[in-house]
């Protein structure tokens, strides 16, 4: 199989060994690689840190089809990696610094190399905006979460707090009432910015309590979260709120800085695509959390990765037939 061959660096400044270049190494990227490699397209994944993305920070996953028993994010990532490698993907741990287009060729520049391909799949993901308070990083995956859909079921009959004031914070707070004993939504302003229909539902739920003009100063605990320390920004009064879960929804930051103004006019934008996951640039696809209107779920990310891979295969065949790409 072509995908299992070892690839040698071609002459010149741009490495054109690969038919498909995938930026990022999360579930969407690994799913795309399985499909492109099975289509006998030489594929490389460029990942700056570790495979799995935010998935590896999820301790237990119980909503991914095919696993009636729970599975950890690390284990699921390792299975996805093994499957992609079986079909021949090459994984290189390099940081992508820039992407630009030269006569239809997408050139991806990393900290060690430059790759040229007519089809590139962007799966760089997004990072949740953080509060930046003590305990947030320490208890990530042990009470601190950025996804109620992913982790809410693990807080049955527990007291949790939600941080944020937009639609995400309010709707995720409503979702958490399915499991939690109480949900306190903490917002730094004097009113929510969420849609009225969501607010009506939230305020009619006896499990939900809103706390305004308040910020979290720290998150504390032993093995897991035991509570938060808050401060009222008007009175400066501090309070200790015991809880077992802290769900933070203050936005996310897509990893799009390396694109410059290619697809984004503002730094940190989510990328718009069509139904084939293709962006405004022909042959350039975006999937997963980097994409606008993504549902931020493992299953949907994988579906987007597969969609982009199939579309990329068809696009490459079309370009070859037109003589725009080497056969």
Return the active site residues.
147, 150-151
Tokens representing 254 are 């897509």
Cα–Cα distances (Å) from 117 to 102, 196, 200, 217, 318, in that order, read 10, 47, 50, 47, 14
Calpha distance 270→169 (Å, rounded):
19
Q: Residue 64: how many CA atoms within 13 Å on its side-chain side?
A: 25
162-197 in b/e form (b: 16+ CB < 10 A) is bbbbbbbbbbbbbbbbebbebbbbbbeeeebebeee
Between helix 27-38 and helix 298-321 the angle, nearest 10°, is 40
**E runs forming strands in the chain:** 20-23, 43-46, 90-92, 96-102, 105-110, 114-117, 119-122, 126-128, 144-145, 159-163, 182-186, 208-211, 214-221, 225-232, 238-242, 245-248, 252-254, 284-286
Query: Please, is 53 exposed, middle or buried when counting C-beta atoms within 10 Å of its C-beta (0-12, 13-18, 19+)?
Result: buried
């Amino acid at each position: 199989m072509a995908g299992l061959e070892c690839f040698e660096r071609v002459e010149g400044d741009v490495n054109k060994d690969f038919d498909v270049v995938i930026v990022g190494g999360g579930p969407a990227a690994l799913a795309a690689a399985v499909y492109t490699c099975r289509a006998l397209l030489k594929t490389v994944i460029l990942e700056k840190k570790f495979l799995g993305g935010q998935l590896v920070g999820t301790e237990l996953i119980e909503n991914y089809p095919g696993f009636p028993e729970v599975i950890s994010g690390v284990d699921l990532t390792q299975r996805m990696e093994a499957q992609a490698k079986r079909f021949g993907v090459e994984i290189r741990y390099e940081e992508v610094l820039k992407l630009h287009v030269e006569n239809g060729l997408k050139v991806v520049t990393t900290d060690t190399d430059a790759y040229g391909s007519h089809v590139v799949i962007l799966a760089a993901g997004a990072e949740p905006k953080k509060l930046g308070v003590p305990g947030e990083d320490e208890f990530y995956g042990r009470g601190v979460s950025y996804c109620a859909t992913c982790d809410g079921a693990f807080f049955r009959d527990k007291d949790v707090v939600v941080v944020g004031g937009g639609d995400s914070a309010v709707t995720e707070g409503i979702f958490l009432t399915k499991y939690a004993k109480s949900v306190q939504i903490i917002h730094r302003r004097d009113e929510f910015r969420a849609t009225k229909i969501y607010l009506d539902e939230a305020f009619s739920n006896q499990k939900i309590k809103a706390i305004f003009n308040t910020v979290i100063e720290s998150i504390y605990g032993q093995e897991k979260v035991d509570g938060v320390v808050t401060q009222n920004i008007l009175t400066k009064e501090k309070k200790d709120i015991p809880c077992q879960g802290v769900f933070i929804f203050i936005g996310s930051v897509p990893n799009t800085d390396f694109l410059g103004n290619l697809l984004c006019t503002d730094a940190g934008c989510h990328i718009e695509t069509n139904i084939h996951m293709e962006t405004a640039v022909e042959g350039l696809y975006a999937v997963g959390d980097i994409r606008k209107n993504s549902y931020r779920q493992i299953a949907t990310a994988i579906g987007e990765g597969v969609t982009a891979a199939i579309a990329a295969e068809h696009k490459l065949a079309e370009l070859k037939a037109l003589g725009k790409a080497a056969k």
